[in-house]
Amino acid sequence: MLSAKALDRLCRQLRDKAAQLGFDDLAITRPDAIPQAPQRLAQFLADGHHGSMGWMEETADRRASPGVLWPDVRSVIMLAMNYGPAGDALENLAHPDRGNISVYARHRDYHDVIKGKLKELASFLVSRAGGGDVKVFVDTAPVMEKPLAQAAGLGWQGKHTNLVSRRLGSWFFLASIFTTLDLAAAEPERDHCGSCRACLSACPTDAFPQPYRLDARRCISYLTIEHAGPIPDEFRVALGNRIYGCDDCLAACPWNKFAVEAREAKLQAREDLEAPSLATLLRLDDPVFRQLFSGSPVKRIGRDRFIRNCLIAAGNSADAGHVPQAVALLDDDAAVVRGAAVWALSRLLAPEAFAALAEDRLTQETDADVRREWQAAKARAASETR
Ligand code: B12
Ligand code: SF4
Ligand code: SF4
């Protein structure tokens, strides 16, 4: 058992080491510091707000309570790593000839960047404490990182549900170290949203049924990354050119006036992912997709889902230059790509030209979902011709 003085020294050393490793903040809490989380998570799941993320339901008990995930845990160390953009995060949304990849994915996969540093920090802790057990997590285990980070005082969950820090703004990742060591816990951060509603109003798909609650099924981040099938029709126009994730609610937050650019070089945007040409992306086959997104979080969704997203962006671009590539993608092996190509063409071709194409291609299509896409788009074209 360490004395209070030794504990204090240990925490200071831990903080210094974390800063040295590139973390931007560190705070400590108790595993039982989020008593409201189980009920709130249960409500989120009962409302179906997790959509097809079945893993959230399967792990709910462990997710809601660190003590269920690991009964021996005595302290939770929460860490923040800034990934702030160099310029205006939303600038690229005004360029329909470009695809927009959200800021968190314009560089190396943060899981890879953070994991090694976390392990090093955890080993440092054990060696300085002269014992104790540790487990490290960065979005890789059922841990409610945001409420734990608020309880530790790193920031507060804003009305958009993400953690906001008075010092860092909104652009930072979270990670945690669970330990059997008894460390001094900090006070929770209080809510500084006040009467502001900027993030709620900024959402293009109206994904917040109430402040502090998100219906993931309506969120562009979920629709472009987590959702596997066709993107529901009602959200396609709102996607604009967002082909991977969305930053609108984060970027709207006035607390970002304190945000600075990421200091970790691996979290600074790759130039080729800041505003990639949609025409080029639409031509990616599987090997080239894997090569382009090697080491990037985008690789996780696979080429077919990515091309689906790019086709929706092409349909929103009003650029008939995409027509030949969209026609070529009508023969793609993946039904989800063919269906999105139908939608893009229905938006890029004149109604008469689309109707003629549909006449020719609908009979060749065997997949039921894609046939439905053709029929819905044909009906739209017919109503526009009338
Ligand atoms: C599932 C998930 C998603 C889902 C669902 C998001 C969500 N808000 O739940 C989707 C795919 C949509 C998503 C999107 C994004 N995500 Co995400 N995601 C996660 C993940 C894996 C779990 C989150 C979770 O547990 N959700 C379940 C809900 C119920 O929990 P919650 O959001 O904390 O819910 C709280 C509120 O609902 C609130 N609440 C409910 N009722 C009430 C009532 C009152 C009065 C109050 C005050 C509060 C309140 O209490 C709940 C518990 O505290 C975490 C990593 C992790 N392991 O924590 C990353 C994580 C949250 N994501 C992250 C990021 C960066 C994003 C995106 C910005 C990515 C992007 N640019 O596209 C977007 C942001 C969208 C948004 N506005 O949330 C970061 C956020 C970092 C931060 N600073 O907060 C995390 C922490 C990953 C990480 N390790 O850094 N994500
Ligand atoms: S990430 Fe985009 S779509 Fe999702 S809640 Fe925020 S603003 Fe809305
Ligand atoms: S935009 Fe306003 S309401 Fe939303 S998180 Fe920031 S301060 Fe809170």
pLDDT digits (tens, 9 = 90+) for 159-202: 999 999 999 999 999 999 999 999 999 999 999 999 999 999 99
Sequence-separated (6 or more) residues with CB below 8 Å from residue 43: none
* Residue set of the binding site: 63, 139, 163, 174, 193, 196, 199, 203, 219, 221, 246-247, 249, 253
Mean pLDDT of the chain: 96
CA 166 to ligand 3 centroid distance, Å: 11
Per-residue model confidence as pLDDT tens digits over 290-301: 999 999 999 999
Sequence-separated (6 or more) residues with CB below 8 Å from residue 266: 107, 108, 113
Whether residues 378 and 264 fall in one domain: yes
Band (pLDDT 50/70/90 cuts) for residue 116 is very high
> Considering the entire predicted model, what is its pTM?
0.97
The percent of residues in the chain predicted with pLDDT above 90, rounded, is: 92
What gap in Å lies between CA 330 and CA 292, rounded to an integer?
A: 23
- 253 in contact with ligand 3, CB cutoff 6 A: yes
Q: Is 95 within a domain?
A: no
- The number of helix segments (H) and strand segments (E) in the chain equals 18, 8
CA 171 to ligand 3 centroid distance, Å: 13
* Residue set of the binding site for [4Fe-4S] cluster: 193, 196, 199, 203, 219, 246, 249, 253
Whether residues 56 and 128 fall in one domain: yes
Q: Is 133 within a domain?
A: yes
Q: Are 156 and 163 in contact (CB under 8 A)?
A: yes
Whether residue 333 lies in the annotated active site: no
- 252 in contact with ligand 3, CB cutoff 6 A: yes
Residue 140 lies in domain: 4-87+105-179
Nearest CA among 386, 364, 373, 359 for reference residue 315: 373
Whether residues 258 and 340 fall in one domain: yes
Per-residue model confidence as pLDDT tens digits over 239-290: 999 999 999 999 999 999 989 899 888 898 999 999 999 999 999 999 999 9
pLDDT exceeds cutoff 70 at 48: yes
